[in-house]
Amino acid sequence: MSFKFNVIDDFDFKNKTVLIRIDINSPVDPNSGVILDDTRMKLHGETIKELSEKGAKTVILAHQSRPGKKDFTTLEQHSKVLSKNLNLEIKYIDSIFAHDAINSIKSLKNHEVLLLENVRFFSEESLSRTPKEQSKSILVKKLSPFIDFFINDAFAAAHRSQPSLVGFNGVIPSLAGRIMEKELKIIQNALENVKKPCVFILGGMKADDSIDVMENVLKNETADFILVTGLVANIILLSAGIDIGDLNVKFIKDKGHCKMVKKSKKLLKNYKNKIIYPKDVAIEDENGERVDVAIDKIPNRPIFDIGIESIKDYAKIIRNAKTIFANGPAGVFENPKFAMGTEDILNTIANSNGFSIIGGGHIAAAAVSMGFEKDMDHISSGGGACINLLAGKKLVSVEALEKSAKE
C-alpha cells in the first residue's frame, strides 16, 4: 500500500480560491438543531486555518446526514460551531451553486472562509457513479470555473464515489488535506511496519466489513490474533457450531449475513488458533438484569455483550500485543449494563504498551465518551474508510487524488 498524491505543501494558495471537501457530519438534536458533538469540526480546523493563514479564499463543501433522517438539516449551525472552534469567521450561505453562492465565492477576499449549504440537498450527490461520470455532474460544472484548487480532506467519506468527493479531481488541480494525509500515512505505516504480536479486535454491527478485514489480515499474516465481539462474535460462534439461540440466529439471517457464516466457517478451519471467540456472553434475564452465561448454556435471548471470563482472556492477549487495531464496540455499550465489554477492552488498550489504532464510528465515540481518547495512539475519523483500508480495499477518493497527481 503506497499513496502518491499532492498535498498542501506542494502549492502556493495566496490569492487562490480553494474548494475543500470536509466531513463534519455530526450528531444533531432533531428538535433543537443543536450539534451534540463537534469532534470532526475540531479535526478539520487544522486544514481550514492553514489555508486561511496561507492567504487562500476558502470555500467549504460538506454534508449532514441524508434525506429522510431526523438529523438531515442545513449547515447554518455548523458554521457557528466551526467559527467558535477555529476562532475564525466562517461565513455561511444557504445555497450550493445558485447565483447567490457563486456571487459569494467571487466576492471572497484572501483569508476568508465560506461554508456552502449541505451538499446532500442536491439530489445528484446521492448517486454513486465513476469519478469520470461524476466530473460531468451539475455540481462540478457550476463550481469548477470559479475554483483554482480542490482539496479532499473528507477521509471519513473516502470510500464513497460522489460528485463532491471525486468529481473535481479530473477537472481542477486536486490534493489531500491534512486529515486525509494523516489518516492514510498512519494506517499505511502501521500495516506495512506492523510490530508483533499484532491483535485485531473486531466487533460492532458491520459484520460483513469486519469479516472481510479478518480474512485479509489473516491471509497476509498481519494479524497474530483476532478477538471477536458484538455481532461478529455471534456469527463466529454460530460458525463454530455453538447453539446461540433462535433469536440470535434469526437476527443474523435478517441482517443478510448468511454468506458471512459460510466464510467464517472456512476461516475457522484455516486459522482456528488465531481466531479467539468468547467463552461466555451477557444476556438480560426476566428481571432486566445482566447475566453472564457460558456459550454452551446460551438461552433463547438476545446477546448484548461478551462475558466477564471472555473479557479477562481478551485483556491478557491485548496486554502482550505490540500493535492493536480495534473496530466496533463489544456490545450494546449505550446501555450501562452492557458497556462492560467495550469499556474494559478500551481500558486495556489504553493502558497497554502496544501501538493502538481505534477505528472510527461507534468504537471511536465510545473511546471518547469513556475518557480514553488521550491514551490511544490514533483514533480514526472514518469508520467505513478505515475498515476498507484494513480489509485491503481501495478508496475511490484516494485513487481519484492519485490520478489527479499524475495528470
Three-class SS state of 19: strand
Q: Give residue-wise pLDDT tens across range 144-178.
A: 999 999 999 999 999 999 999 999 998 999 999 99
Is 153 among the annotated ligand-binding positions?
no
DSSP H or E stretch at residue 245: none
**How many angstroms separate the Cα of 343 from the Cα of each of 40, 69, 279?**
22, 29, 18
Is 388 among the annotated ligand-binding positions?
no
Is 178 among the annotated ligand-binding positions?
no
What integer is the mean pLDDT of 83-92?
96
Is 257 among the annotated ligand-binding positions?
no
Which triple of cell numbers denotes residue 196?
508483533
Is 319 among the annotated ligand-binding positions?
no
| CATH class in words for 8-181+400-406 | alpha beta
Residues shown for the chain: 407
Q: Which residue has the cell 447565483?
A: 99
Three-class SS state of 181: helix
Please state, as a whole number, how many other Cβ atoms lie within 10 Å of the Cβ of residue 252.
Answer: 18
d(CA 42, CA 22): 11
Is 188 among the annotated ligand-binding positions?
no
Is 283 among the annotated ligand-binding positions?
no
Name the CATH superfamily for 196-353.
Answer: Phosphoglycerate kinase, N-terminal domain (3.40.50.1260)
Given this model, what pLDDT does residue 284 score? 95
Is 360 among the annotated ligand-binding positions?
yes
* Closest CA relative to residue 343, chosen from 322, 320, 318, 372: 372
CA dihedral sign, ordered 334, 338, 341, 347 = positive
* Closest CA relative to residue 52, chosen from 95, 91, 96: 91
d(CA 324, CA 194): 9
Is 25 among the annotated ligand-binding positions?
yes
**What are the residue ranges of CATH 3.40.50.1260 in the chain?**
8-181+400-406, 196-353
Phi, psi at 261, each rounded to 5° = -65, -45
Q: What is the mean pLDDT of the chain?
A: 94
pLDDT at residue 180 above 60?
Answer: yes
Is 305 among the annotated ligand-binding positions?
no
- The count of C-alpha atoms lying within 13 angstroms of the C-alpha of 221, restricted to the half-sphere facing its C-beta, is 0
Vertex 42, ends 332 and 68: CA angle to 5°? 55
Please state, as a whole number, how many other Cβ atoms lie within 10 Å of the Cβ of residue 308.
Answer: 16
Is 353 among the annotated ligand-binding positions?
no
Is 290 among the annotated ligand-binding positions?
no
Q: Give residue-wise pLDDT tens across range 340-396.
A: 999 999 999 999 999 999 997 889 889 988 999 999 999 998 888 999 999 999 999
Q: Give residue-wise pLDDT tens across range 212-264.
A: 999 999 999 999 999 999 999 999 999 999 999 999 999 999 999 999 999 99
